[in-house]
Chains A and B, each alone.
Chain A
Amino acid sequence: MGNTKKSLQFKTIPVDEAVGSTLAHDMTEVIPGESKGPAFKKGHKVTSGDICRLMRLGKNNLYVLDLEDDQVHEDDAVNALAAALAGPGVIFSGSPSEGKLELKAAYPGLFKVDIEALTEFNMIQDVMCAAIHNNTSVKTNHSLAATRAIPLVIHKDALEKAVALAQNNYPIFSVKMYNPLKIRLIITGNEVYKGLIEDKFQAIVQKKTEDLGATLEETVILPDDEEMISRQINTYLKKETDLIITTGGMSVDPDDVTRAGIESSGFKQTIYSSAVLPGAMFLLGYHKNASIMGLPACGLYHRTTIFDLILPRLMAGERPTRRDLARLSHGGLCLNCETCRFPACSFGKVG
């Protein structure tokens, strides 16, 4: 970020004398409520027909640049910055617009940010980069970040410092590709097992997992019976299963035995409860190459829960720890908005 003023040797010429000269930077035009974009691109040769429009943009004088050896134009600078910041799965346009480059996802996956390194990058004078949150699930071409040099011309040493910092911390930004996990589901609940009510969980789990490229291989409905649940988990583990999901039975009622069923199966490493609402009574566990998620019944009612925060991370090959779940506390409260805008909201965004 910039915090000092430096005098740069620009030649300024009045706009009515500018015919034939080449613009040194993009000129932005804002039409209130309609559009904002470059009216003239850097390198454009000013014609007599442009003078009126330039004046309408409020330009009475134009910059003509004569760069010194230790100076870099904003477009060249932003290309170098973006190249250093963009790790695997992160691409950017070959044409900066108004001195800025937007970084985008090259494929669907989990967006990762080295937050500390990004902060240090922004401590460097005359450069900036703003990003979306760490651990956001993104699709191809999803906007991830944008970077620019603050002044029209940046000193080479500042640019080199920023590029070196990004390179030394490579990758500051990356997109972890999702693995096509094979998922098996256990729906628990006496009421569903006996057919008193119809299961709604399978459709929810199927949609959310398939959206990220997983496949729901099998679903079994079981009563609230610890032994049956445990046995079913073991049956699933003998098959090719990356992730087992159980639904229901995670609370504190006497009939809530799913957690006990999980813990008496092969899953010894389990984390019960998370600092997220909805999703406090969530269970996460690991056994050899397989993971398990115990989803509390809130997933039936709330559109977005802890499931939406942890599933992408498991799909990306991560194994969140107890501390990771605790860290979700800051930003872990869903506001239950009338129209859900997740992931474009504060839910699950660790600050």
Chain B
Amino acid sequence: MENFETLLQGSSKAHGHLCPGQVVGVRMAMEGCRLIELDNPSELPQIKKLIVYVEIDRCATDAICFVTGVRLGRRSLKFVDNGIMAATFVNLETGKAFRIVSTERARGLAEMYAPEISDKRQQQLQAYKKMGIAELFDIEEVKVDVPACDMPGPTRFKQICSSCGQVVRDKKEVMRNGKIQCRPCALGTYYRTVAEISHNKGTHHG
């Protein structure tokens, strides 16, 4: 694994800017990989041994992906939408896993570590570089039982939604009222089609 400064530079470039989140993310990823004993996770053979669960979709997540090489499309990155600046690093081979949470106390300590900087963001950025791991993070060893349907590798599970005919992969279908359905059919969608909106408008005015 490259050194911290090199990784931070690369991560900031990939993310689009240098921010405190990049520092936190790079340090979190480096510590996570160290704890699960992977020193070169973004290349073969280690690339197949790592899964990272991230719990927020903010700056630090991009840094974690940059350092570790985990990708959604490779199924090595899992997003659990908890709104918590935390990530769990899982070594699939050994079963070792650590959940690392970015602490709120680190924000309070920023001024102490970089009193010479008045800009809050810059102060945090520099302080998070200097701070000890124990101040920056809360770390717990955990066990993650990764389901077979969430594992990387070729698609093993396919079902067809009985309502719309859509193929659903990776056991994400549900059984609702005795029918196998895709989640949009069973639980509703996060979107509305333009055709549906136009139709409702027409009905309303008519």
Contacts and interface: CB of A to CB of B under 8 A. Distances in A.
Residue among B150, B175, B176 with the highest chain A CB neighbour number at 10 A? B175
A291 B148 CA distance: 38
Residue among A82, A83, A95, A174 with the highest chain B CB neighbour number at 10 A? A95
B174 A83 contact: no
Interface stretch (B38-46, B131-139, B151-159, B196-204): B151-159
Contacts of B184: none
Given A83-B157, A91-B171, A95-B95, A318 B148 contact: no
User: What class of interface size applies to chain B in its complex with A?
Assistant: 20 to 34
Interface string B141-175: 00001111111000011010000000000010111
Interface in A191-238: none
User: What class of interface size applies to chain A in its complex with B?
Assistant: 20 to 34
A329 interface: no
Given A88-B180, A176-B176, A317-B176, A93 B148 contact: yes
Interface of B: 92, 95, 145-151, 156-157, 159, 171, 173-178, 180, 186
Given A83-B156, A86-B171, A106-B171, A92 B178 contact: no
Contacts of B159: 88
Given A83-B156, A91-B149, A94-B148, 19 more contacts: A79-B148, A82-B148, A83-B148, A90-B171, A91-B147, A92-B148, A94-B92, A94-B147, A94-B150, A94-B151, A106-B171, A107-B174, A174-B175, A176-B177, A179-B176, A179-B177, A316-B177, A317-B176, A318-B178
B175 A175 contact: yes
Interface of A: 79, 82-83, 86-95, 106-107, 109, 112, 171, 174-177, 179, 316-318
A317 B173 CA distance: 17
Given A95-B95, A177-B186, A87 B148 contact: no
Contacts of A94: 92, 146-148, 150-151
B146 A109 contact: no
A91 B175 contact: no
B174 A93 contact: no
Residue among A86, A91, A316 with the highest chain B CB neighbour number at 10 A? A91
Nearest to B174: A177
A82 B156 CA distance: 12
A91 B172 CA distance: 10
B148 A91 contact: yes
Nearest to A102: B145
Contacts of A95: 92, 95, 145-146
A83 B170 CA distance: 11
A93 B175 contact: no
